[in-house]
């Protein structure tokens, strides 16, 4: 009997010890799971982006009475870098090129000499630093910079060009349609105002953005 009681006491002690260990594991397990499931801290990154889309130029040609054709629809391409901060404002700098317009005019003889056909082209390089901000899936843009406007002429086989460097202001609003980690795809409508040159246009772009590398933890 004494042996049986001793054996029973050992079994009860073993069961109590196992129950205590199981309770400790069940208490500690949620904390470990919480640690594993906790969100990683926000990280900044250096982003590269490129955009491409059509443009529509506003305004009239220089000599509308002689103009036989005028195309105000062009294309624009852009390449830039941005600092994506944990803060809600992201600074960027971009360079874009656009063939804005082309036209043809038939000029009669006048003070410029013999008449003939005048071919015209308007192109623009735009260098703009600015800021963007992510608001849910929307991405407004504001940029101030400088434009290099090049107007080319060909008249009676003689080619010439003129260049201006006016200030430029850009207002845009994008919408994020795809976001998978390091890669994002946006659609953006943008207005470009080139002060002092009377050249204003709008564009609808597809923008591909990707993180080159992350900064911080």
pLDDT at 157: 79
Instruction: State mean pLDDT over 188-199.
Output: 93
Angle among Cα 84, 89, 176 to the nearest 5 degrees reads 70
Instruction: State mean pLDDT over 67-79.
Output: 92
- Higher-confidence residue: 107 or 134? 134
Distances (CA, A) of 121 to 67, 115, 153, 159, 161: 13, 19, 7, 11, 9
Taking only the tens place, the pLDDT of each residue in 149-187 is 999 988 877 889 999 999 999 999 999 999 998 999 999
pLDDT at 147: 97
Instruction: Write the burial class of residue 145 (CB in 10 Å: 0-12 exposed, 13-18 middle, 19+ buried).
Output: middle
Taking the model in full, what pTM does it have? Answer: 0.75
Evaluate if residue 111 carries a pLDDT over 90.
no
The CATH classification number of 44-215 equals: 2.40.160.20
pLDDT at 42: 66
3-class secondary structure, 1: coil
DSSP per residue, 62-92: S-TTTEEEEE-EEEEEEEEEEEE-SSS-EEE
With a pLDDT cut of 70, the percent of the chain lying above it is 78
Strand partners, 179: 184
- Max mean pLDDT among 87-91, 106-110, 170-174 falls in 170-174
**Cα(128)–Cα(125) distance, integer angstroms:** 10
Evaluate if residue 36 carries a pLDDT over 90.
no
Evaluate if residue 33 carries a pLDDT over 60.
no
Tokens 């971009």 locate to: 94
CB 194 within 8 A of CB 179: no
The domains of the chain are located at: 1-38, 44-215
């Amino acid at each position: 009997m004494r042996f049986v009681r001793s054996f029973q006491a050992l079994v009860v002690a073993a069961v109590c010890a196992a129950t205590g260990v199981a309770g400790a594991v069940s208490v500690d397990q949620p904390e470990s799971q919480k640690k594993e499931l906790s969100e990683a801290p926000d990280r900044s990154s250096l982003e590269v982006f490129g955009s491409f889309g059509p443009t529509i130029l506003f305004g009239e040609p220089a000599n509308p009475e002689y103009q036989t054709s005028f195309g105000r629809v062009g294309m624009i391409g852009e390449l830039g870098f941005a600092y994506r901060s944990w803060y809600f404002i992201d600074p960027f700098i971009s360079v874009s090129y656009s063939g804005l317009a082309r036209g043809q005019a038939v000029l009669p003889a006048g003070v410029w000499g013999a008449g003939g056909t005048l071919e015209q082209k308007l192109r623009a390089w735009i260098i703009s630093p600015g800021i963007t901000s992510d608001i849910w899936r929307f991405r407004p843009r504001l940029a101030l910079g400088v434009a290099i406007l090049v107007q080319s002429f060909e008249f009676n086989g003689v080619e010439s060009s003129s260049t201006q460097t006016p200030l430029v202001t850009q207002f845009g609003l994008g919408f994020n349609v795809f976001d998978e980690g390091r890669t994002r795809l946006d659609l953006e409508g943008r207005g470009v105002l080139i002060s002092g040159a009377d050249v204003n246009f709008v564009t609808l772009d597809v923008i591909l953005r990707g993180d080159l590398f992350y900064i911080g933890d």
